[in-house]
Amino acid sequence: MTNYRCNVCNVFEYDDTEGNAEMGIEPGTKPEDFPDDWKCPICGADKSHQMPV
């Protein structure tokens, strides 16, 4: 289990054990495996800005 936080807005958090049903991200998906066009829902940063916390 790893939690990630966007290092641009420091608001959006993602837990890879839960996924994100609203965004169509299945449980167990790491941020590097998000679709290439994925953007932070808060600030619009790309997936490379999701850092482990």
Domain enclosing residue 27, as ranges = 3-52
| pLDDT value of residue 1 | 81
DSSP letter string over 29-51? --GGGS-TT-B-TTT--BGGGEE
- The total domain count for the chain is 1
**Integer Cα distance of 36 and 32 in angstroms:** 9
Residue 24: closest CA among 14, 34, 12: 34
Give 19-42 pLDDT, tens digit per residue.
999 999 999 999 999 999 999 999
Q: Say whether pTM exceeds 0.85.
A: yes
Confidence of residue 46 (pLDDT cuts 50, 70, 90): very high
Identify the CATH number of the domain in which residue 7 sits. Answer: 2.20.28.10
